[in-house]
């Protein structure tokens, strides 16, 4: 990873630009959920088929992110960011103009390809802008775009779709993304790729790649639990939660605001003890959903939904920081892709798991399902993650010492031999 000077200022402006691109991309990803009835009526298909567009997007990200990252490993990170953001913007513009459901589904595949490439590139790029001690903070700033997409982007796109037309919502998202692609091209600096280790065997045998399986497993367990409940949060709130229909949108907005607050909080403390903060985040999530299962009514549900949002919001930042930290320089560029794959697999899988639990056990069982997966993630975090973090830290320290020792030697070899010159003179 590029190592900025310790005296360098935190590049907030550049990270905010990445955050804006993430906001627009995330808005486009989930926009069909906001204008689903209008899209179904306009295209003459069922609402279930429109709902599949979100799954298509997520599965495309999961399948393509890692291969695309490997195939584009020789392309500069800034150029990849421009290509990725432009591709997602173009996909939204095609969605706005698509006359048939088939072409619309194809545009979602293109959007998923660009989205996966964006997230596999954005996190290593953000990390390259800051010192190692600031990586968690930098990642949290970029991740704020995801929360803002839920809080502001999807509701705003929905409002445009209702007031004008659903195609106008996709068109607006596409134009905004194209604008961000141009801004990235003009305003963000090119950064060097990490210094590669000498090639010893294939990348599949890379130690950092093996270590990244641990944060990936934590992602799969925790996110499976999260989305097994969150996918069905509206019927749960209206059922076991004991909340009326009129308060539903307010509670979902509260969840979004709480998530933003949680992301800011984790951004402040993320670099102060990764294992401890991640355990606290997962533990607080488990406590919140257990309390939700035991209590009902508008007040306790609102409070606990807010606590749930605050607790889990920082989770993506923490596991992405863990993946970047355990990676070797050779595998560093794959960290974002691997975590993106794990998340999108878990999003799709969580919806399936939650649906099966819903059919077999009912809505009341969903919080307990999330609890089981979350506790499994806590165990991996406590028992396995500290070991791979220590191993990676020792490896990075040895590499740093080796570079420090080799630099004076190289300098002395390149310097003129003053003693010889004096004797012969």
Find the CATH number of the domain harbouring 164.
Answer: 1.20.1250.20
Share of the chain above pLDDT 70, in %: 86
Which pLDDT score is estimated for 423? 38
Amino acid 199: pLDDT: 44
* Rounded distance between C-alpha atoms, residue 274 and residue 299, angstroms: 33
Residue 293: which residues within 8 A CB-CB, separation 6 or more?
240, 364, 367, 368, 371
- Would you say residue 425 lies in a domain? no
Judge whether 416 lies within some domain.
Answer: no
CB 309 within 8 A of CB 258: yes
| 119 and 32 inside one domain | yes
Residues 250 and 179 in one domain: no
Taking only the tens place, the pLDDT of each residue in 282-332 is 999 999 999 999 988 888 988 998 899 888 888 888 888 888 888 877 666
pLDDT at 422 over 60: no
Q: Are 305 and 255 in contact (CB under 8 A)?
A: yes
Question: Are 143 and 21 within one domain?
Answer: yes
Whether residue 417 is contained in a domain is answered as no
User: Considering the domain boundaries, does residue 418 fall inside one?
Assistant: no
Annotate 328-389 with three-state secondary structure. CCCCHHHHHHHHHHHHHHHHHHHHHHHHHHHHHHCHHHHHHHHHHHHHHHHHHHHHCHHHHH
Mean pLDDT of 393-418: 66
Domain of residue 279, residue span: 206-404
pLDDT, position 327? 80
Mean pLDDT, rounded, for 163-192: 92
Q: Is residue 424 situated within a structural domain?
A: no
In a domain, 3, yes or no: no
pLDDT mean over 112-130: 87
Q: 184 falls in which pLDDT band (50, 70, 90)?
A: very high
Looking at 160, 192, 224, the residue that finishes a domain is 192
How many domains does the structure of the chain reveal?
Answer: 2
| Residue at 82 is within a domain | yes
pLDDT at residue 412, as a whole number: 53
Dist. CA 59–CA 64, nearest whole Å: 8
Shared-domain flag, residues 97 and 134? yes
Compute the half-sphere exposure of residue 43: CA atoms within 13 Å on the CB side of its CA. Answer: 26
Check residues 271 and 279 and name the one with the higher pLDDT. 279
Select, from the ranges 243-247, 279-283, 298-302, the one with the highest average predicted confidence (pLDDT): 279-283
Residues 228 and 104 in one domain: no
Residues 210 and 187 in one domain: no
- What is residue 356's predicted lDDT score, i.e. its pLDDT? 82
Residue 253 and residue 162 share a domain: no
Give me the mean pLDDT over the 218-235 stretch: 85
Between 216 and 35, the higher pLDDT residue: 216
Task: Let me know whether 308 and 251 are in one domain.
Answer: yes
For residues 174 and 250, membership in a common domain is answered with no
For residue 173, give the nearest of 90, 58, 52 by alpha carbon. 90
Q: What pLDDT score was predicted for residue 407?
A: 62
Q: Are residues 128 and 218 in the same domain?
A: no
Q: Say whether both 233 and 180 belong to one domain.
A: no
- Residues 27 and 147 reside in one and the same domain: yes
Domain membership of residue 409 (yes or no) is no
Exposure string over 198-224, b if 16+ CB within 10 A, otherwise e? eeeeeeeebbbbebbebbbbbbbbbbb
How confident is the model over 47-106, as pLDDT tens digits? 667 767 877 888 888 888 888 888 887 888 899 999 999 999 999 999 999 999 999 999
């Amino acid at each position: 990873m590029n190592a900025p000077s310790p005296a360098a200022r935190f590049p907030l402006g550049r990270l905010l630009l990445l955050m804006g691109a993430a906001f627009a991309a995330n808005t486009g990803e989930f926009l069909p959920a906001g204008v689903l009835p209008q899209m179904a009526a306009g295209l003459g298909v069922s609402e279930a088929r429109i709902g599949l567009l979100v799954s298509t997007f997520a599965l495309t990200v999961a399948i393509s992110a890692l291969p695309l990252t490997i195939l584009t490993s020789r392309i500069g990170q800034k150029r990849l960011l421009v290509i990725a953001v432009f591709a997602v913007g173009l996909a939204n513009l095609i969605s706005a103009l698509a006359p048939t459901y088939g072409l619309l589904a194809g545009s979602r595949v293109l959007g998923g390809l660009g989205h996966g490439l964006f997230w596999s590139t954005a996190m290593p790029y953000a990390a390259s802008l800051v010192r190692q001690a600031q990586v968690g903070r930098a990642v949290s700033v970029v991740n704020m775009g995801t929360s803002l997409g839920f809080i502001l982007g999807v509701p705003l796109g929905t409002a445009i779709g209702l007031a004008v037309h659903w195609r106008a919502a996709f068109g607006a998202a596409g134009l905004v993304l194209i604008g961000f692609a141009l801004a990235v091209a003009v305003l963000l600096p090119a950064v060097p790729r990490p210094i590669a280790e000498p090639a010893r065997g294939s990348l599949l045998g890379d130690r950092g790649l093996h270590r990244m399986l641990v944060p990936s497993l934590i992602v799969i367990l925790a996110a499976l639990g999260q989305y097994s409940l969150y996918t069905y949060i509206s019927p749960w709130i209206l059922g076991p939660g004991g909340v009326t229909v009129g308060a539903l949108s307010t509670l979902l907005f509260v969840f979004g605001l709480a998530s933003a607050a949680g992301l800011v909080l984790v951004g402040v403390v993320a670099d102060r003890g990764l294992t401890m903060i991640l355990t606290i985040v997962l533990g607080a999530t488990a406590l919140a959903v257990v309390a939700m299962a035991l209590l009902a009514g508008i007040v306790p549900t609102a409070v606990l939904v807010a606590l749930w949002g605050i607790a889990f919001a920082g989770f993506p930042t923490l596991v992405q920081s863990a993946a970047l930290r355990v990676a070797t320089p050779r595998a560093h560029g794959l960290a974002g892709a691997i975590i993106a794959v794990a998340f999108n697999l878990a999003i799709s899988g969580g919806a399936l798991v939650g649906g099966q639990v819903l059919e077999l056990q009912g809505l009341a069982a969903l919080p307990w399902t999330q609890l089981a997966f979350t506790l499994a993630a806590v165990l991996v975090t406590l028992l396995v993650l500290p070991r791979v973090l220590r191993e990676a830290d020792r490896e990075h320290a040895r590499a740093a010492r080796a570079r420090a020792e080799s630099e004076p030697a190289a300098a002395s070899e390149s310097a003129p031999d003053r003693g010889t010159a004096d004797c012969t003179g």
